Structures are given as C-alpha cells and as structure tokens.
C-alpha cells in the first residue's frame, strides 16, 4: 500500500484523544517493563540458587497476591514485590484506558457509551480488587 497517498484526518478532539490514548498505553507498558527489569535484577542477584519447582502448583504467598501487599513488598525493594508491582501497573494500563474513554464519551455527551465504559470500568475494578477472598 502506498502510504504517501493517504489523506490525513482533520485534527480535532477525536484525534487528540486518540493520541492521548496511545501515549497512555505506551507509557504504561514502558513503565511496567522498567519496573519488572529492576525487580528482576534484584530477584536474580538475591534469589537462592535452586530453581523454584513450577511443575507443582502451589500459588503465590498472600503478600504477592493483593494490591496493598504488593506495594508493601515493592517499597521494601524486594525483587519479587517489584516485579509484581510492574505486573500490577501493566494490568492497570488498559483499565486507565477505559477510564480515559469514559471521560471522553462524557465530554461528548455520548450517553450510550458513557454507560458502556462505566460498566466495563466497574467490572475491571471488581476483578482486580475483590477477586481475592
């Protein structure tokens, strides 16, 4: 396809919102990756030599499962806690994107989509915050 013949869309609120959305997604992924690398370095330099046995499912310790627990472990600069914080940021990135879309549709008074995005946002937060019992 010859991209040189592309006509460009009119710059408007929609395109600016698309760019903001792209920026948000990219920032979230980069931030998460950087934190995971930092945590990975600490984890590999401090972790005891034998490899964890992943053949048998045991589940993670409680402090690596909940949002407050992960923050606590990450602030203590523990490798596994930092990696988990990176994963949490990664999970939060699409959630933040839905929140941004919600405000976008609210600004446009596009009520069907305001309701749809709010519903999705509620489900995502429910999955993240009350999934552990």
Partner 1 sequence: MNTTEFSAWLLLGSLLAGFLGALTGLGGGVVIVPLLTLAFGVDIRYAIGAALVSVIATSSGAAAAYVKEGYSNIRVGMFLEVATTVGALAGAGLALYLRVSVIAIIFGLVLLYSAYATVRPSSHVIENSAPDPVAVWLKMDGSYPTANGFESYHVRGVALGFVLMFVAGVLSGLLGIGSGAVKVLAMDTAMKLPFKASTTTSNFMIGVTAAASAGVYLCRGYLDPGLAMPVLLGVLAGSLTGARVLAVVQVRILRIVFTMVIVVLAIEMIYNAFTGRL
Q: Report the distance separating Cα 117 and Cα 122, nearest Å.
A: 9
Rounded CA-CA distance 107/101 in Å is 10
Residues 95-124 within binding reach of partner 1 (CB under 8 A): 95, 97-98, 101, 105, 110, 112-113, 116-117, 119-120, 123-124
Tell me: does residue 19 bind partner 1 (CB under 8 A).
Answer: yes
Task: Determine the size of the site formed for partner 1 (CB under 8 A).
Answer: 76
Of 71 and 113, the one with the shorter C-beta distance to partner 1 is 113
Q: Please, are residues 100 and 120 in contact by the beta-carbon 8 Å criterion?
A: no
Tell whether residue 2 is a contact of partner 1 (CB under 8 A): yes
Residues 35 to 94 in contact with partner 1, rule: CB under 8 A: 36-37, 39-40, 43-44, 47-52, 54-61, 64-66, 79-81, 83-84, 86-88, 90-94
Among 63, 60, 41, which residue's Cα sits nearest to residue 52? 60
CB hemisphere CA count around 120 (13 angstroms): 14
Interface residue with partner 1 among 1, 11, 12, 109 (CB under 8 A) is 1
Give the C-alpha separation, 126 to 61, whole Å.
Answer: 21
């Amino acid at each position: 396809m010859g991209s040189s013949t592309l006509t460009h869309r009119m710059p408007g609120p929609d395109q600016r919102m698309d760019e903001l959305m792209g920026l948000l997604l990219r920032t979230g992924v980069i931030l998460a990756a950087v934190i995971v690398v930092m945590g990975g370095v600490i984890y590999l330099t401090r972790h005891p030599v034998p490899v964890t046995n992943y053949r048998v499912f045991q589940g993670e310790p409680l402090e690596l499962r909940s949002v407050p627990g992960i923050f606590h472990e990450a602030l203590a600069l523990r490798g596994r806690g930092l990696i988990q914080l990176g994963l949490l940021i990664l999970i939060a990135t699409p959630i933040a994107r839905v929140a941004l879309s919600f405000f976008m549709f609210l600004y446009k008074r596009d009520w069907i989509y305001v309701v749809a995005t709010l519903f999705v946002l509620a489900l995502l937060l429910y999955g993240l915050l009350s999934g552990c019992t």
